[in-house]
Amino acid sequence: MSVATIVKERRSIRKFKDQDVPDRLIYELLEQAGNLCDRQILQAMRIIVANQRESKDRLSRYMTNAFARTTMGRFMPNPIIETFYKRFAEVPGHLAVIVEDHESAEQKDEQYAQACFFLQSLQLLAWEKGLGMYWRSDEILYTPALFEKLGLTDGERLVGIIHFGFIAKTPRPRNRTSAAKKSHYWPNI
What's the pTM value of the predicted model, to 2 decimals? 0.86
pLDDT digits (tens, 9 = 90+) for 16-60: 999 999 999 999 999 999 998 887 777 889 999 999 999 999 999
- The range of the structural domain enclosing residue 105 comes to 12-170
Q: Answer whether residue 18 is part of any domain.
A: yes
Residues 149-160 as b or e (16 or more Cβ within 10 Å = b): bbebeeebbbbb
Q: Answer whether residue 70 is part of any domain.
A: yes
Burial group, residue 134, by CB count within 10 angstroms (0-12, 13-18, 19+) = buried
Q: Answer whether residue 162 is part of any domain.
A: yes
> Closest Cα to residue 91, out of 122, 124, 136?
136
Q: By three-state DSSP, how is residue 47 classified?
A: strand
Q: Answer whether residue 20 is part of any domain.
A: yes
Q: How far apart are CA 81 and CA 144, in angstroms?
A: 19
- How many domains does the chain fold into? 1
Q: Answer whether residue 183 is part of any domain.
A: no
For residue 110, what is the domain's CATH number? 3.40.109.10
Q: At what angle do helices 53-68 and 78-90 cross, to 10 degrees?
A: 150
Q: Answer whether residue 140 is part of any domain.
A: yes
Pairing of strands 93-100, 45-50: antiparallel
Q: Answer whether residue 179 is part of any domain.
A: no
Write down the pLDDT at residue 189: 60
Q: Answer whether residue 136 is part of any domain.
A: yes
